Amino acid sequence: MSRKTSFGSPPLMGEWWFLGAFQWLETFPPDQRPKRAAIYIMNNPVGTSLLPSIDEWTKKLGVQVVINERYNLPLPSAEPLVMKAKQMNCDLFVSGGVFHDGVMTIKAVKALQYNPKVYFQGIGSIIPAWVKELGKDGNYIISGTSYHDKLNNPSNIRLLKRVKEKLGMDGVDTYFGFAWAWMQTLAAGVEGTKGLEQTKIRDWLKTHKVETVAGTFTFDAKGLPKPFTYATQIIDRRVELIWPANVRTHKGVYPKPPWK
C-alpha cells in the first residue's frame, strides 16, 4: 500500500514513543523532576527515531543530557553503559532498545545498584516475556504504547466483552489490539464510501472521525492522528496505564524505588 493510502490508527511512531511518559513527568513540580539524563539508543532507524522527541522534551523539562550515545546490536555488555550513568549521577535513564538488550540492561542496573529516579525503556517492557524474564526486577519501568487492553473506550470494552464470551480470555495481546484497530479503520472507510475504491476510502477517512479500540482518530494529510502515546509502567508485574489521566489504570510510581 502506498503512503498516500496509509493510515496510522493507531500509528507505531518511534518519534512519539515516549511522548506520554514525558507528559507524565511534566505533571511533577520542576524541583522534583530528573535533572540529568543518560540516553543510550540502539543504532538503527527504530532507535534513532526516538532522538528528536527526547531532545525536545528534555529541553522543555529542563533536564540536562549528559550522556547521549548509540550502541550496535547485539549489545555485548550493559555494565559499562550503566556504570557511566551511575558515575555521572544521571537520574533519568533512557534505554532505547529492544527486549534482549533491555533485559540485559536492567540486570546490570540492579547488579551495580544504580537508582535513577525514572527509567524509560524503548521496546520490550510491555510484552509478557518482560516480567517472565525479570520478575519483580522488571517493575517500575516506563514505556509507551498506542494500544492497551485496559483502555476504557466503548469500542475496546465491546472487544473485551466479545473475547471473554467467545474465547474465555480476560484480555488481548497488544499487537492484536493494533491489528483490530487498523481493520476497524479500513472497515469504517469501506462502510463510509459503500465501496472498495482506495482513493474514495482515503478521502473519506481524512474527513471523518474513526472510532477504534485504541481511541477515536482524525487524520492529517499524512494519514496520522495528532501526536500521542499512552504511558505505561510495570507495577506489581502488570503493565498499567499511568498517563493520560483519563485512561489511567494505576497511579504512576515516582521516583523509582531503590533496589532491595
Tell me which amino acid residue 240 is.
E
Q: Exposed, middle or buried by CB within 10 Å (0-12, 13-18, 19+), for 214? A: buried
Instruction: Judge residue 65's burial from the number of C-beta atoms within 10 Å of its C-beta, 0-12 exposed, 13-18 middle, 19 or more buried.
Output: middle
Cis peptide before 154 (omega within 30 of 0): no
Task: Return d(Cα 28, Cα 22) in angstroms, integer.
Answer: 10
Query: Is this structure's pTM higher than 0.85?
Result: yes
Give me the phi and psi of 240, to 5 degrees please.
-110, 150
Residue 209 Cα distances to 148, 158, 199, angstroms? 20, 19, 17
Residue whose entry in the numeric block shows the C-alpha cell 466483552: 161
- Cell numbers placing 56: 525536545
What tens digit of pLDDT does each residue of 176-223 get? 999 999 999 999 999 999 999 999 999 999 999 999 999 999 999 999
Q: Report the chain's mean pLDDT, rounded to a whole number.
A: 95
pLDDT at residue 62 greater than cutoff 80: yes
The helix-helix angle for 79-87 and 99-111 (nearest 10°) equals 50
Helix (H) or strand (E) holding 223: none
Tell me, what's the pLDDT at 3?
64
**What amino acid is encoded at 216 in this protein?**
T
Arithmetic mean of pLDDT, 34-54? 96
Query: pLDDT at residue 1 above 80?
Result: no
- pLDDT confidence of residue 6: 86
- Rounded Cα distance, 164 and 162, in Å: 5
Write the pLDDT tens digit of every residue in 222-259: 999 999 999 999 999 999 999 999 999 999 999 999 99
- Which residue type occupies 11? P
| 11 band by pLDDT with thresholds 50, 70 and 90 | confident
Over residues 128-153, the mean pLDDT reads 96
Q: Which of 11, 1, 6, 18 is nearest to 242 (CA)?
A: 18
- Per-residue pLDDT at 67 exceeds 60: yes
Distance CA 258, CA 260 (A): 6
CATH 3.40.50.2300 region(s) of the chain?
A: 14-146+228-247
Lowest mean pLDDT among 13-17, 36-40, 74-78, 144-148: 13-17
User: What percentage of the chain has pLDDT greater than the value 70?
Assistant: 99
pLDDT in tens, 80-122: 999 999 999 999 999 999 999 999 999 999 999 999 999 999 9
- 58 pLDDT above the threshold of 80: yes
Task: Decide if pLDDT at 7 tops 80.
Answer: yes
Correct CATH for 14-146+228-247 of 3.40.50.300, 3.60.15.10, 3.40.50.2300, 3.40.50.10330: 3.40.50.2300
Q: What is the pLDDT of residue 13?
A: 79
